[in-house]
Amino acid sequence: MTFCARCGESKDRGGHGECDQRLALEPPRHCEICGRRMVVKVTPLSWTARCSRHGVIDPTTSTADDLLARDARHVWHPYAPMPPTMTPYVVDSAAGVRLRLRDGRELVDGMSSWWAAIHGYRHPVLDAAVTDQLGRMAHVMFGGLTHEPAVRLATRLAELAPGDIDRVFLCDSGSVSVEVAIKLALQYWQERGRPGKHRLLSLRGGYHGDTFAAMSVCDPVDGMHHLFSNVLPQQAFLSRPPGGVERPVDPVWVDEARAVFATQAGELAAVICEPMVQGAGGMHFYNSGYLAVLRELCDEYDVLLILDEIATGFGRTAHLFATLAAGVTPDIMCVGKALTGGYLSLAATMTTGHVAETVSSGAAGALLHGPTFMGNPLACAVAAANLDLLTGRDWQADVRGIETRLSEGLEPARHLPGVADVRVLGAIGVVQTTGPVDVVAATEAAIERGVWLRPFRDLIYTMPPYVCSPQDVDCIAEAVVAAAKAGAA
Ligand SMILES: Cc1ncc(COP(=O)(O)O)c(C=O)c1O
């Protein structure tokens, strides 16, 4: 039996003669959700198929099987082999805090798309910011030109940043903003006539991105140093502060830090660290008092302080920036991830007038960096709207509410076999296991409970969108516990 490509009816029942040629090209389509035959509409250039119940598919998305076959052949996923060993889930759309999979299942996003989608998906204010800006221009080069979205965003960031941090260098991604921060620090000391200060001091267990300078300051054991040891700049490392946000600052660590400064400050351009939360390096939480110690040592030994707020920035720890918990102002600060509410890739390296002017007054006369898509207007417009949205609501109450519910909801995981620790800070909840998590089993267990999680190493963790309802947060917490039951070693 053949089907009319226009109306989807059996050709035996008559119909559209002119479709015959298309029939050979386009086989009948059946809805992947309910199995109903879909009505196929053919235009000279393309076709679409509509299920009366579940809407439209178009030829670019094709069926889930087609899509996954092409994905496996052509698409390289993060930290994944090629061809892949795990099949990804196909997302068709997302709205509010839910992802809609191709098979019709809806999942509460427990990951905020890797810390970014703090206001969830398809937020009307953020959608409008993008579409309004699209009506003016999607992009324009930033050398010699400027525009309102970039100026608005930079002004807003300067207002929100701690202390006298008010100079903003816009860039494409978190890793690039770390590159820029390192470059700023190195240029700063060159312009001050001390080129010997060329090394970075980083905390063990840190993660700052995947580009080369950023990699060089990631944890030297768990990072990628062993693969690139011949080319990575050699940096200095300091033990990470002991875990526990409430645990008093350890004088032994302070002595160690002081000894490193005392012996190496002549070579140190800057210290770089993630304030309060080391994210991808182990979801390690530490007392913000250590930042005050680092600030003091940096001042005493003439070293710049770079704080990487890419994961922690914009409220995740219940402080707008984690450094505010310690009342510390860094010399350079990196932000990204939640900056655009997860809409577009954008980051910023921010610094003080002193650092900016020192770098600019030297022989080079400028910071030697300038990405093609610097200050992309679409990204700046949505970032500015996102910051207004964040500061225009009681985000702290939202984050504290999530903290309370996650603390209660994750408690049952504490006594599960294979669980080493359970910890919560702001809108971040972590179950740490005693061995590597069975990622497939843990992910499936969460999906069965209607939640998207992405465990790694020995961590099953969540950082929900701030706009999650209490029920959504409870649901996420249950899913984390279920994932720990299924995936803990
Ligand atoms: C603290 C920190 N710094 C830098 C980065 C790198 O950011 P991006 O992935 O946008 O390059 C990340 C990403 O996870 C991060 O968590």
Looking at the DSSP assignment, which residues form a beta bridge with residue 421?
Answer: 432
Which amino acid makes up residue 12?
A: D
Reported as type and span, the H/E element at residue 268 is strand 268-273
Distance of alpha carbon 276 from alpha carbon 350, whole angstroms: 19
The predicted model gives 359-382 an average pLDDT of 95
- Looking at residue 19, its pLDDT comes to 45
Ligand 1 atom closest to residue 274's alpha carbon, by position in its atom list: 1
Q: Hey, what long-range contacts does 249-256 have (CB within 8 A, 24 or more apart)?
A: 249/287, 249/289, 249/290, 249/293, 253/290, 254/293
Distance of alpha carbon 117 from alpha carbon 103, whole angstroms: 23
The predicted model gives 164-183 an average pLDDT of 98
The predicted model gives 133-149 an average pLDDT of 98
State which of 337, 456, 457 you would mutate to test the pocket of ligand 1, scoring each by most atoms of that ligand within 8 A of its C-beta. 337
- Looking at residue 364, its pLDDT comes to 87
Distance of alpha carbon 373 from alpha carbon 393, whole angstroms: 31
- Cα(175) to centroid of ligand 1, in Å? 6
> 22-26, 75-79, 105-109, 331-335 — which is least confidently predicted?
22-26
Contacts of 219 (CB under 8 A, 6+ apart): 204, 205, 206, 207, 281
> 43-47, 71-75, 142-146, 274-278 — which is least confidently predicted?
43-47
Give the residue with greater pLDDT, 322 vs 223.
322
Burial of 269 (0-12, 13-18, 19+ CB in 10 A): buried
> 146-150, 218-222, 271-275 — which is least confidently predicted?
218-222
Are 180 and 369 contacting, i.e. CB atoms less than 8 angstroms apart? yes
Distance of alpha carbon 338 from alpha carbon 383, whole angstroms: 9
> What letter does residue 35 receive in the DSSP assignment?
-
pLDDT tens, 95-110? 999 999 999 999 999 9
Q: Whose CA is nearest to atom 7 of ligand 1?
A: 174
Ligand 1 atom closest to residue 178's alpha carbon, by position in its atom list: 4
- Looking at residue 237, its pLDDT comes to 98
Handedness of CA 10, 12, 17, 22 (dihedral sign): positive
- Looking at residue 25, its pLDDT comes to 45
Distance of alpha carbon 198 from alpha carbon 188, whole angstroms: 10
Asked if pLDDT for residue 354 goes beyond 90, the answer is yes
Asked if pLDDT for residue 44 goes beyond 90, the answer is no
- Count of Cβ atoms closer than 10 Å to residue 467 Cβ: 20
Output the CA angle 387-122-30, nearest 5 degrees.
Answer: 160
Output the CA angle 342-270-244, nearest 5 degrees.
Answer: 65
CATH of 136-391, one of 3.40.640.10, 3.20.20.150, 3.40.50.1360, 3.40.50.1220: 3.40.640.10
96-121+395-487 and 136-391, same CATH topology: no
pLDDT band of 267, cuts 50, 70, 90: very high
Domain boundaries in the chain?
Answer: 96-121+395-487, 136-391
- Cα(102) to centroid of ligand 1, in Å? 29
- Cα(174) to centroid of ligand 1, in Å? 5
pLDDT band of 18, cuts 50, 70, 90: very low
- Looking at residue 436, its pLDDT comes to 97
Q: Whose CA is nearest to atom 10 of ligand 1?
A: 174
- Looking at residue 434, its pLDDT comes to 97
Distance of alpha carbon 256 from alpha carbon 232, whole angstroms: 25
- Structure token pair of residue 387: 């910051």
- Looking at residue 36, its pLDDT comes to 83
> 45-59, 411-425, 456-470 — which is least confidently predicted?
45-59
Question: Across the chain, what does the average pLDDT equal?
Answer: 92
Are 338 and 115 contacting, i.e. CB atoms less than 8 angstroms apart? yes
pLDDT band of 26, cuts 50, 70, 90: low
Asked if pLDDT for residue 48 goes beyond 70, the answer is yes
- Looking at residue 355, its pLDDT comes to 98
Asked if pLDDT for residue 375 goes beyond 70, the answer is yes
Is 308 part of the annotated catalytic residue set? yes
Ligand 1 atom closest to residue 278's alpha carbon, by position in its atom list: 1
pLDDT band of 15, cuts 50, 70, 90: very low
Which residue has tokens 């080319």?
231
Contacts of 85 (CB under 8 A, 6+ apart): none
- Cα(114) to centroid of ligand 1, in Å? 9
Distance of alpha carbon 159 from alpha carbon 488, whole angstroms: 44
- Looking at residue 230, its pLDDT comes to 87
- Cα(176) to centroid of ligand 1, in Å? 9
Of the residues 250, 308, 331, 438, only one is catalytic, namely 308
The predicted model gives 375-383 an average pLDDT of 98
pLDDT band of 31, cuts 50, 70, 90: confident
Asked if pLDDT for residue 12 goes beyond 70, the answer is no
CATH of 96-121+395-487, one of 3.40.50.300, 3.40.605.10, 3.40.50.360, 3.90.1150.10: 3.90.1150.10
Render 99-162 in DSSP notation, one character per residue.
Answer: EEETTS-EEEESSHHHHT-TT-BS-HHHHHHHHHHHTT-S----TT---HHHHHHHHHHHHHSS
Binding pocket residue ranges, ligand 1, CB within 6 Å: 173-175, 178, 207-209, 274, 279-280, 308, 310-311, 336
- Cα(25) to centroid of ligand 1, in Å? 45
Is 290 part of the annotated catalytic residue set? no
pLDDT band of 64, cuts 50, 70, 90: confident
Asked if pLDDT for residue 362 goes beyond 90, the answer is no
Of the residues 121, 172, 188, 207, only one is catalytic, namely 207
- Looking at residue 469, its pLDDT comes to 98
Is 337 part of the annotated catalytic residue set? yes
Is 207 part of the annotated catalytic residue set? yes
- Looking at residue 229, its pLDDT comes to 83
Asked if pLDDT for residue 395 goes beyond 60, the answer is yes
